Amino acid sequence: MNDEINKAIEIENLNKTFKMDSGELTVLKDINLCVEDGEFLSIVGSSGCGKSTLLRMIVGLDRDYSGSILSYGKPIEGSGVDRGMIFQESRLFPWLTVEKNIAFGISKKVSSSRKKELVNEQLELVGLSSFAKAYPGQLSGGMKQRISIARALINKPKILLLDEPFGALDAMTRINMQQEILKIWEKEKTTMILVTHDIDEAVYLGNRVVVLSSRPGRIKKIVPVELSRPRDRSNYDFTYIKSQIYNEFFTKVENPFSYNI
């Protein structure tokens, strides 16, 4: 297979500037990045460095940039069923049941019996089959995120973009959700691109961790995580990789309680 076609995402010389009344705001600068088919890529960077903007461009929601973004060799010309996204904030419709939320993105052409089948498959995958008729307001934060994952996976996207999907969850639920997403990654072979503030999560899940500089976001470093799975968070190599990434953000200054991010 042609090498370029095998790349899930290929970003070349990407620059993004927002034009506002008060002037221009450059958010991303000189981004060059390839994501392999089936890879799990983590992206970390400080708040406001352009992570969500980057995902929005990859998913096709923002096309106002310079440079190029290809997916399997083709330019991204808008959103498509081959790319799913889980947003930073929950976007479930509170007035629809769980099953209707999950079915929302399925093409109108799909028969209702097939639709039901697809929804049930997803509910099973995220372990919430018994909540099909519940409303989002009746679910915990972790359950809502699992429904968001099911909804994003309903069209079997080749690429799943995750924008801080577990940011609002407590530590235990977060660890469970990380296991769930790994299970899906292993089963479905979906290419995953995860944005997170949590360095531990980035290293635990990613094949590589991209470190972005503060705004304008540039690629500061790409750290490979060559550790076998399942990974052990207490392992020396795991901790060492984490510390390498921490060092990109935190520079010790005179006051030991004050850090520069």
Ligand X SMILES: Nc1ncnc2c1ncn2[C@@H]1O[C@H](COP(=O)(O)OP(=O)(O)OP(=O)(O)O)[C@@H](O)[C@H]1O
Q: Quick check: bond before 216 cis, omega within 30? A: yes
Sorted by sequence, the CB contacts under 8 Å of residue 114 that are 6+ apart come out as none
Q: Which residues between 142 and 161 bind ligand X (CB under 6 A)?
A: none
Options 8, 43, 49, 139; binder of ligand X; rule CB under 6 A: 49
Options 47, 228, 255, 258; binder of ligand X; rule CB under 6 A: 47
Cβ-in-10-Å burial (0-12, 13-18, 19+) of 257 comes to: exposed
Q: Which stretch binds ligand X (CB under 6 A): 18-26, 122-130, 221-229, 235-243?
A: 18-26
Options 10, 50, 142, 146; binder of ligand X; rule CB under 6 A: 50
Is 18 an interacting residue with respect to ligand X (CB under 6 A)?
yes
What gap in Å lies between CA 203 and CA 241, rounded to an integer?
7
Is 48 an interacting residue with respect to ligand X (CB under 6 A)?
yes
Number of residues located near Mg ion, criterion CB under 5 A: 1
Q: Which stretch binds ligand X (CB under 6 A): 20-28, 101-109, 134-142, 200-208?
A: 20-28
Binding marks (x or -) toward Mg ion, 45..84, rule CB under 5 A? -------x--------------------------------
Options 1, 20, 172, 261; binder of ligand X; rule CB under 6 A: 20
CA 203, 207, 210 angle in degrees (round to 5)?
A: 70
For ligand X, the closer CB: 23 or 94:
23
Is 27 an interacting residue with respect to ligand X (CB under 6 A)?
yes
User: Which of 11, 20, 24 has its CA nearest to residue 66?
Assistant: 11
Label each residue of 151-183 as H, E or C.
HHHCCCCCEEEEECCCCCCCHHHHHHHHHHHHH
What gap in Å lies between CA 63 and CA 78, rounded to an integer?
7
Task: Give the 3-state secondary structure of residue 259.
Answer: strand
Please report, as ranges, the residues that interact with Mg ion according to CB under 5 A: 52
Binding residues for ligand X, per CB under 6 A? Answer: 18, 20, 25, 27, 45, 47-53, 88, 215
